[in-house]
Amino acid sequence: MNITVKRLGRVAYEPTFQAMQDFTATRTAETPDELWIVEHPPVYTLGQAGKPEHILRDVGIPIVKIDRGGQVTYHGPGQVLIYLLLDLSRLKIKVRELVTAIEQAVIDLLAEHGVTAERRDGAPGVYVADAKVAALGLRIRNGCSYHGVSLNVDMDMTPFAAINPCGYPGLQVTQTRDLNIPLTTDEAGEQLSQHLLQQLDRQNG
């Protein structure tokens, strides 16, 4: 399985979103799959069916409407995102299997550090007790995926209070630092990317 891992560092959201769309639009049957590990300056992203009323108040953070599924979420420094630019047809992975693989990668990463996490029916993402630690949203175009998963690592959590995270009023959010997992954002990105590769390999196998 030929997947290139790219570490893009802290990059602005909108050009990265455009780059994902361009990559997917121009890829061919021979284009290698890629994982992009990134961090973003503060931004709210609103999914395709996203309802503006889930943004509760203006706290001066830009809002970008995008083409993934799901409602509103927050990205900011101290959160790692991994974008999965995959040819699902070639990998012979269905969308539901990809979502399960992404969630399992986060669950396995947390388990390595002694934290029990779980998925929830009908609410994609990964939860520790009642708090969401990772969010995911995907877009599939011509059998290829983009967007991906965000894991809260060591960030200012206050911007989540200005939204209904993922469209759920009162949804609690947490981060690995508050779960006593001593990872930097870079370390979390490296470990999560390895777990994602393992899961994709397993699905593909």
The reply, when asked if residue 74 is annotated as ligand binding, is yes
Residue 189 labelled as part of a binding site: no
125 has binding-site annotation: no
136 annotated ligand binder: yes
Distance between CA atoms of residues 40 and 57, nearest Å: 21
Is 137 annotated to bind a ligand? Reply is: yes
144 is catalytic: no
149 annotated to a ligand binding site: yes
Please identify which of the residues 35, 86, 134, 166 carries the catalytic annotation.
Answer: 166
Q: Are 94 and 86 in contact (CB under 8 A)?
A: no
Burial 56-78 (b: 16+ CB within 10 A, else e): eeeeebeeeebebbbbbbbbbeb
Nearest to 93 by CA among 144, 45, 41: 144
Cβ-contact 196, 102 below 8 angstroms = yes
Q: Is 193 annotated as a binding residue?
A: no
On whether 75 is known to bind a ligand per the annotation, the reply is yes
Q: Is 68 annotated as a binding residue?
A: yes
At 115, which amino acid appears? V
The answer to whether the annotation marks 135 as part of a ligand binding site is: yes
The closest alpha carbon to 150, from 19, 16, 1, 2, belongs to 16
Question: What is the distance between the alpha carbons of residues 117 and 127, in angstroms, rounded to a whole number?
Answer: 6
Instruction: Give the residue ranges of the annotated binding site.
Output: 68-75, 135-137, 148-150
Instruction: Give the residue ranges of the annotated binding site for substrate.
Output: 68-75, 135-137, 148-150
Which residues are designated catalytic? 166
